[in-house]
């Protein structure tokens, strides 16, 4: 009988806290199984019920998750290979949900000994001495997840174990006795999921120490060779860039990892938006305070897509999903700050608020040499500009680089309006009423919105108007100047002539 079925059947008449000895456990009909079989059986149950085992993971439904499920069904140790911010660790943590709710262990065991299959000297001697009276305790699924970040200072003693001279002195044992061993993280994670993040950063000699644990179950500590049949589910994460920069996964270790699963970034803006909305840590006040048009959300995600192809950015290091998440948090905070200064209870998100996301971008991009010369702030502004250019043709007629004078350009009237005006300014601290009034004061701008986006919600119109002006700037139809209090838009040639 599987532990999951056993737990359901015994829930009413025998609670697990009432089972305190090995004899009571055997009488209850409980049978143990390996952790890989445990994961496999619970995954099979979820698949049959049509239940998702990896809630909150988006964009992997037809790629990564099927491969992960096949690896679990195959009882493989797993390596997630992908760039930063691709939910590798999140997937590993969600595997905990496939564990049984509780498992029994020999009470006092350092390495979660299964009373039906003890492996430590302590558990074997206790069972031999007390038999069915051996006390047991229960471990919950959340306590069966262990995680270690691979750093250059990690030692074999940390992971596997070492001789403990204090234990030897207290127990009056010689160093030839295996009871003087202090177990490391891996033996203590017996019957658990053990995750090693950034595996290539682990020194090669430390990786070698994992060989026998993965394959044969042997561990060697200071000359001791113990046959410990550890029951483990190993999950590793690695960045492909690490293979050439900081280190590599040694070939024999890769050979012992059953499945290597490639992760990836979202394939489209829709999936990226879903991830950002789910992960952004927003204050309740911000959620009700700031109205965010869908175009603004699309534009924010497009910045990350542009960054992955930008010539100034090292694409091999990856552009984490955390860029969009942090940028969205900054975006709403920029609007919130303005509303606090204006003492209003609600506000519309403005395009100028995107200047507030630059600090969230600069810390999350790795620049190549040319990018370093330009500076991270300049590159961040270029990403916003590129995002505008990419999305602009989805809302308004495309602007060609070369146009014939005879062609009826839909933007001529708007450009001429700016030529006739001395300049149009949008100050950062305008109230919402002043902001709307300023944008409504441009008749050709209103006409373009009515003609090409007649069905857009009223609340989105003002952001779209600003977006149109920024788009004309990017396509060299208008000029834009940033000054201390805000932004000024001018006709391209008129401003050039006035400059002369």
What pTM was estimated for this model as a whole?
A: 0.86
406 falls within a domain: no
What distance in Å separates the CA atoms of residue 373 and residue 319, rounded to the nearest whole number? Answer: 20
The answer to whether residues 245 and 283 belong to one domain is no
Q: Are strands 424-427 and 486-491 parallel, antiparallel or unpaired?
A: antiparallel
Please check whether residue 286 is in contact with residue 333, taking contact to mean a CB–CB distance below 8 angstroms: yes
- The sign of the CA dihedral 471, 320, 328, 313 is negative
Does residue 275 lie in a domain region? Answer: yes
Name 172's Cβ contacts closer than 8 Å, sequence gap at least 6. Answer: none
Do 291 and 376 reside in the same domain of the chain?
yes
Domain-located, residue 16: yes
For the chain, the straight-line distance linking the first and the last C-alpha, in angstroms and rounded, comes to: 88
What CATH number has the domain bearing residue 13? 3.40.50.300
The DSSP result for 59-110, as a single string, is: S-TTTHHHHHHHHHHTT--EEEE--TTSSHHHHHHHGGGGS-SEEEEETT-T
**With contact defined as beta carbons under 8 Å apart, do 361 and 352 qualify?**
no
Asked if the structure places residue 103 within a domain, the reply is: yes
**Structural tokens at position 57:** 């993971």
Are 229 and 330 within one domain?
no
Contact 207, 253 (CB under 8 A): yes
**319 and 246, same structural domain?**
no
**Residues 315 and 309 sit within 8 Å (Cβ to Cβ):** yes
Query: What pLDDT score does 12 carry?
Result: 40
Q: How many domains does the chain have?
A: 3
Kindly state whether residues 256 and 277 are assigned to the same domain.
no
Task: Supply the pLDDT for residue 324.
Answer: 93
- Do residues 132 and 213 both lie within one domain? yes
The predicted pLDDT at position 393 comes to: 94
Alpha-carbon gap, residue 305 to 111, rounded angstroms: 46
3-state SS, residue 447? helix
Q: How far apart are CA 430 and CA 339, in angstroms?
A: 10
Residues 173 and 127 in one domain: yes
Q: Which domain-ending residue is among 338, 361, 394?
A: 394
Same domain, 326 and 344: yes
Instruction: For residues 287 and 257, state if they share a domain.
Output: no
Domain limits for position 358: 269-394
CB 285 within 8 A of CB 337: no
Q: For residue 403, tell me if it sits in a domain.
A: no
282 shares a domain with 207: no
Q: Do the domain assignments include residue 248?
A: yes
Considering the domain boundaries, does residue 174 fall inside one? yes
Q: What backbone torsions phi and psi does residue 21 show, to the nearest 5 degrees?
A: -130, 160
Whether residue 198 is contained in a domain is answered as: yes
474 and 357 co-located in one domain: no
Per-residue pLDDT of the chain (500 residues; tens, 9 = 90+): 555 555 555 544 457 768 899 999 998 888 899 999 999 999 999 999 999 999 999 999 999 999 999 999 999 999 999 998 899 999 999 999 999 999 999 999 989 999 999 988 889 999 999 999 999 999 999 999 999 998 888 888 888 877 777 776 676 666 566 677 778 898 899 999 999 998 988 888 888 888 877 776 666 666 666 677 889 999 999 988 655 455 688 888 888 899 999 999 999 999 999 999 999 888 777 778 899 999 999 999 999 999 999 999 988 888 889 999 999 999 999 999 988 888 888 899 999 899 889 999 998 888 988 888 889 999 999 999 999 999 999 999 988 775 665 467 889 899 889 888 767 889 888 899 999 999 999 999 999 999 999 999 988 999 999 999 999 999 988 898 888 888 988 887 655 555 54
Q: For residue 263, what are the contacts with CB-CB under 8 A and spacing of at least 6?
A: 60, 64, 80, 81, 82, 83, 86, 87, 88, 91
CATH number at residue 489: 1.10.10
- Pull the structure tokens for residue 458: 């009223």
Please tell me whether residues 36 and 173 are part of one structural domain.
Answer: yes
Helix (H) or strand (E) holding 214: helix 211-215
Task: Answer for the pair 480, 470: CB distance below 8 angstroms, yes or no.
Answer: yes
């Amino acid at each position: 009988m599987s532990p999951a079925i056993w737990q359901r059947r015994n829930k009413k008449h025998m609670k697990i806290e009432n089972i305190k000895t090995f004899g009571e456990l055997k009488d209850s009909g409980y049978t143990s199984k390996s952790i890989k079989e445990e994961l496999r059986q619970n995954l099979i149950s979820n698949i049959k019920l049509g239940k998702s085992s990896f809630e909150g993971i988006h964009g992997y439904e037809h790629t990564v998750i099927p491969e992960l499920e096949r690896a679990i069904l195959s009882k493989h140790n797993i390596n997630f290979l992908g760039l930063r911010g691709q939910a590798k660790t999140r997937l590993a943590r969600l595997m905990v949900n496939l564990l049984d709710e509780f498992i029994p262990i020999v009470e006092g065991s350092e390495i979660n000994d299964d009373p039906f299959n003890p492996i430590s000297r302590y558990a074997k001697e206790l069972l031999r001495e007390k038999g069915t009276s051996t006390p047991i305790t229960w471990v919950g699924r959340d306590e069966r997840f262990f995680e270690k970040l691979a750093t250059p200072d990690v030692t074999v003693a940390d992971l596997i174990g070492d001789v403990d001279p204090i234990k030897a002195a207290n127990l009056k044992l010689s160093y030839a006795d295996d009871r003087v061993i202090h177990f490391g993280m891996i033996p203590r994670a017996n019957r658990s999921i053990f995750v090693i993040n950034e595996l290539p950063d682990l020194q090669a000699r430390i990786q070698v120490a994992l060989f026998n644990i993965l394959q044969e179950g042997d561990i060697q500590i200071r000359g001791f060779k113990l046959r410990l049949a550890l029951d483990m589910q190993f999950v590793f994460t690695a960045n492909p860039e690490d293979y050439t920069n900081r280190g590599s996964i040694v070939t024999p270790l890769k050979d012992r990892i059953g499945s290597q699963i490639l992760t990836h970034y979202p394939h489209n803006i829709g999936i990226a938006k879903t991830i950002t909305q789910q992960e952004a840590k927003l204050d309740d006040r911000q959620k009700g305070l700031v109205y965010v048009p869908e175009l603004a959300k699309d534009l924010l995600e497009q910045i990350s897509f542009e960054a992955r192809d930008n010539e100034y950015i090292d694409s091999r290091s990856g552009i984490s999903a955390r860029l969009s998440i942090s940028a969205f948090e900054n975006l709403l905070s920029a609007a919130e700050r303005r509303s606090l200064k204006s003492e209003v209870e609600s506000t519309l998100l403005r395009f100028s608020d995107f200047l507030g996301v630059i600090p969230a971008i600069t810390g999350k991009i790795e620049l190549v040499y040319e990018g370093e010369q330009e500076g991270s702030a300049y590159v961040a502004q270029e990403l916003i500009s590129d995002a505008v250019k990419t999305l602009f043709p989805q809302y308004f007629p495309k602007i060609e680089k070369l146009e014939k004078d005879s062609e009826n350009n839909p933007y001529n009237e708007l450009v001429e309006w700016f030529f006739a005006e001395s300049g149009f300014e949008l100050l950062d601290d305008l109230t919402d009423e002043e902001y709307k009034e300023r944008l409504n004061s441009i008749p050709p701008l209103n006409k373009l919105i009515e003609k090409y986006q007649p069905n857009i919600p009223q609340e989105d119109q003002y952001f779209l108007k600003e977006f149109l002006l920024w788009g004309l700037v990017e396509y060299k139809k208008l000029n834009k100047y940033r000054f201390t209090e805000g932004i000024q838009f001018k006709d391209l040639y008129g401003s050039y002539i006035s400059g002369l």
